[in-house]
Amino acid sequence: MSSEVKKNHSGTLKQKTARGIVWSFIDKFGQQGISFIVFIFLTRFFLSPEDYALYAMIIIVNALGGILVDSGFSNALIRKKNPTQTDLSSVFYFNIAISVLFYCIAFFSAPLFALYFNQPILTKLIRVMAFCIPINSLSLVQNVLLLKKINLKYIAATNLLAYFCSGSLSIFLAWKGFGVWVLILQLLSYYTIRAFCFWCFNHWRPSITYSMESIRNLWSYSSKLLLSSTISVIFNNIYAFFIGKIYPLKQMGFYAQANKYSELPNNTIMSAIQSVVFPTMANIGENDPEALKKVMRKTIRVASFVILPVMLGLIAVAEPLIQTLIGAKWLPIVPYLQILSVGYIFIGMTLFYNNILFVKGFSSTFLYFNILYRVLILISIVITMYQGIIAMVVAWDMVAIVYAILMMFYVGRKICYTFLEQIKDIMPYFILALTMGAGVFSFTLFIHNTLILLLMQLIVGASFYLGATYLLGSKVFREAIEMVKKRM
């Protein structure tokens, strides 16, 4: 490739990436914004901690089904430069076949969940919720094709429409007194609308062909991701299995909601950045470590600039935030939320280090790291599970910090991105965010009206952080402003 062609390609890729980041943020923040509003209505006026506890006990079925149906083929197709129609069609039919098989397994194993947690209603809940798996299998390849083109505009439109319709339905059903069934039917309607829209927006259609060779070729890469993702899903939900079994149902509900709040920034900010960064790195390829390092450094700076003030700010405003949005009855979740938020800062950052392992084909290494992380989690649970939920989440924080540091050392070496360079890229935003968080938390000493306290914390905290980054000449801040101006 000539230098001029390479430059043009680089420019086009940069433009697509910039547009993709904007649309990805619109998508993720729009989804979470709608979900958040719906959640406030449901939590404040209709549903109880017990309802959310029942849902948390079985959501692993949907998560595990999604992972097994995809089987790592989405990442494999994104990584492959030019997947053929045969590749795409083969994966499409494979997804459907596995989804039907998984539904049958979920249907017949549902009574075991009910027996373990001593909650008979779980049998019916699981059998209805598991319909999400075959429905979602219809949209996996469609989503991959749009991601490969970094064409996130249609993905955003689809997701936002599905969230709005399913959220509106859930509020109506809650008003009618459906209880925990609201959460199940909301999920089912979301996947149905999403699959329908993907087939309307995207013109790709499967051929009447299936190739085991295509599946085998992709499987050599995706199989390790499948195993790693399966382990991740199991361990992401493992706390529900122990807390739901050992502690009262209400305590399980408080933990589940605290975890939902604390992981919310990861599901928005980190996912928005990730959905663009991974395809961009995949387009660069594994043989250009200098370019990968450049993208990685920028990604770490952008993520730190955004996620650190959000997470440390969330810790600072947790109590007035919870009391204002969903009421005093939910205040027991505050300490759980604050402790979990610390761990999610570190775990969220490791998402981008995983990209390097994927792009360079180190799926085995990713698997080993994942196993190590889960083993540490299991050890921490065994040690603390009878010492209280607080002890369990503090132990998880310690595991998350150790895991993140190990990832920074190992992955940094693969692209000559030293640990010291990484700390230098993160530290300015950490110091500013920590200063901001400590400052707004001090407002609790002299402002006693909850609503006024929350508003003052949010306004002063955001003004201080953005003003400080601007005055200090943050390159990331200027780039973010320019990106929004040009792409919106």
- pLDDT confidence of residue 15: 61
**Do 242 and 274 share a domain, yes or no?**
no
Question: How many folded domains does the chain comprise?
Answer: 2
- 384, 463: one domain: yes
**Residue that terminates a domain, selected from 221, 246, 271:** 246
Q: How far apart are CA 483 and CA 488, in angstroms?
A: 8
Looking up tokens 């959000």 gives: 310
Please indicate, yes or no, if residue 175 is contained in any of the structural domains: yes
Tell whether the torsion through CA atoms of 75, 80, 85 and 86 is positive or negative.
Answer: negative
Q: Give the C-alpha separation, 351 to 302, whole Å.
A: 14
**Rounded Cα gap, residues 173 and 218, in angstroms:** 42
Instruction: Give residue-wise pLDDT tens across range 31-62.
Output: 878 888 898 888 888 888 899 999 999 988 88
- Measured CA to CA in angstroms, residue 179 lies from 46, 117, 389, 409 at distances of 7, 19, 26, 47
Residue owning tokens 């948390």: 56
Q: How far apart are CA 344 and CA 315, in angstroms?
A: 12
pLDDT reported for residue 17: 59
Give the C-alpha separation, 304 to 292, whole Å: 18
Contacts of 447 (CB under 8 A, 6+ apart): 453, 456
Residues 227 and 299 in one domain: no
- Spell out a b/e string for 209-224, using b for 16 or more CB atoms within 10 Å of the CB, else e: ebeeebbeebbebbbb
Does residue 156 sit in the same domain as residue 190?
yes
> How far is CA 255 from its chain centroid?
18
How many whole angstroms separate alpha carbon 422 and alpha carbon 414?
13
Same domain, 406 and 460: yes
Per-residue pLDDT, 355 = 74
> Is position 115 within any domain?
yes
Question: Could you tell me if residue 6 is inside a domain?
Answer: no
- Is 19 within 8 Å of 487 (Cβ atoms)? yes
Q: Are residues 73 and 170 in the same domain?
A: yes
**Rounded CA gap, 42 and 268, in Å?**
20
Expressed as residue numbers, the domain containing 84 is 16-246
| Residue 7 falls inside a structural domain | no
Q: Which two tokens stand for residue 235?
A: 């361990």
Give a yes or no: residue 84 inside a domain.
Answer: yes
In one-letter notation, the amino acid at residue 59 is I
pLDDT at 14: 57
DSSP letters of 286-340? TT-HHHHHHHHHHHHHHHHHHHHHHHHHHHHHHHHHHHHHH-GGGGGGHHHHHHH
| Residues in contact with 295: Cβ distance below 8 Å, sequence separation at least 6, in sequence order | 277, 280, 281, 284
Which pLDDT score is estimated for 13? Answer: 54
Under 8 Å between Cβ of 95 and 135? no
For residues 75 and 221, state if they share a domain: yes
- Tell me which amino acid residue 480 is: A
In a domain, residue 345? The reply is: yes
In the listed set 246, 269, 296, which residue is the last one of a domain according to the structure?
246
Q: Answer whether 91's CB lies under 8 Å from 70's CB.
A: no
* In a shared domain, residues 115 and 80: yes
What are the residues whose beta carbons fall under 8 Å from the beta carbon of 426, sequence distance 6 or more? 300, 301, 304, 308
pLDDT by 10s per residue, the chain, length 488: 444 444 444 445 556 556 666 777 777 778 878 888 898 888 888 888 899 999 999 988 888 888 888 777 777 777 777 778 888 888 888 888 889 999 999 999 999 999 999 999 999 999 999 999 999 888 888 877 777 766 677 788 888 899 999 999 999 999 998 999 999 999 999 999 988 988 887 778 888 888 888 877 777 767 767 777 787 788 888 898 899 889 998 999 999 989 988 888 777 777 767 766 766 676 666 666 777 788 888 888 888 888 899 999 999 999 999 999 888 889 999 999 999 999 999 988 887 887 777 777 776 787 788 888 989 999 999 999 999 999 999 999 999 999 999 988 888 888 888 889 889 988 989 999 999 999 999 998 888 899 999 999 999 999 999 888 888 877 776 665 654 454 44
Determine, yes or no, domain membership for 483: yes
Look up the pTM and report it.
Answer: 0.77
Nearest residue to 279 (alpha-carbon basis) of 359, 224, 222, 357: 359
**113 with 81, same domain?**
yes
| 349 and 375 housed in the same domain | yes
Q: Are residues 257 and 165 in the same domain?
A: no
For 20-43, b/e burial (b = at least 16 CB within 10 A) is bbbbbbbbbbbbbebbbebbebbb
CA 18 to chain centroid:
21
Count the neighbouring beta carbons within 10 Å of the beta carbon of residue 203. 8
Angle at 451 between CA 446 and CA 457, to 5 degrees: 60
Last residue of a domain, one of 246, 270, 294: 246
| Residues 93 and 214 reside in one and the same domain | yes
Domain membership flag for residue 2: no
